[in-house]
């Protein structure tokens, strides 16, 4: 990574590229989004993008790193400070849902990346952090299913719930929706 691509080397154009790329990748996927698509939406030439990022893969890597770090910090701050596994699971569900509501493109982007695992990136994603916590809880006898199933149930439930929310198929206030999801996941795991 050269100095131009460093996380703190933002310019207004680079910020626009990042925001547009995040939106397009989260909606069209990685293969479905081209540099030309990003340039068109930003209102610049393809060459201007290459002045900030050497390739589409570099944009993806930058976003994976940035979004993963942001979500990991939230999980560490809001979830792992809880004492019991039940409280951690409730906090995890709330943290993920609120993140999805507040940053839908970032949430969708990570979901797409997790599902597709494209481009051979070997970055530790937030799911790995959650899985390690579930493994410790399983060893203590607090988790009633395997850690991998617990991760699938917790994260998968949030992903699907968010999709239903975005489609307008949920007729509950946000807080009540989160509470019901919390209750369901906690009863399944703890």
Q: Which of 23, 17, 15 is nearest to 46 (CA)?
A: 17
Which CATH number fits the domain that encloses residue 13? 1.10.357.10
What is the tally of structural domains in the chain? 1
CB atoms within 10 A of CB 151: 20
- The domain in which residue 17 lies consists of 3-189
What pTM, to 2 d.p., does this model score? 0.84
Q: Which of 145, 125, 126, 120 is nearest to 134 (CA)?
A: 145
Q: What is the distance between the alpha carbons of residues 61 and 126, in angstroms, rounded to a whole number?
A: 15
Does residue 173 come out as left (phi exceeding 0), alpha (psi in the -120 to 50 range) or beta?
beta
**DSSP secondary structure, 163-175, as one string:** HHHHTT---S-HH
Q: Tell me the pLDDT of the chain (190 aa) as tens digits.
A: 444 445 434 568 899 999 999 999 999 988 899 999 999 999 999 999 999 999 999 999 899 889 989 999 999 999 998 889 999 999 999 999 999 999 999 999 988 766 545 445 545 678 888 999 999 999 999 999 999 999 999 999 999 999 999 999 999 999 999 999 999 999 999 9
């Amino acid at each position: 990574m050269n100095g131009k691509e460093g996380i703190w080397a933002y310019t207004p154009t680079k910020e626009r590229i990042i925001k547009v790329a995040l939106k397009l990748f989260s909606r069209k996927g990685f293969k479905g989004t081209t540099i030309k698509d990003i340039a068109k939406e930003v209102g610049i030439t393809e060459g201007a993008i290459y002045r900030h990022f050497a390739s589409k893969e570099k944009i993806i890597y930058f976003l994976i790193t940035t979004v993963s770090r942001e979500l990991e910090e939230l999980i560490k701050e809001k979830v792992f400070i809880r004492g019991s596994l039940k409280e951690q699971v409730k906090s995890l569900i709330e943290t993920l849902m609120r993140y999805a509501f507040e940053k839908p493109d970032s949430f969708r982007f990570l979901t797409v990346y997790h599902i597709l695992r494209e481009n051979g990136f070997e970055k530790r994603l937030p799911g790995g952090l959650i899985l390690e916590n579930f493994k410790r809880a399983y060893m203590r006898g607090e988790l009633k299913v395997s850690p991998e199933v617990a991760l699938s149930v917790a994260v998968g439930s949030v992903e699907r719930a968010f999709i239903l929310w975005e489609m307008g198929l949920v007729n509950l206030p946000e807080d009540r929706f989160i509470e019901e999801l919390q209750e369901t996941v906690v009863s399944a795991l703890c």
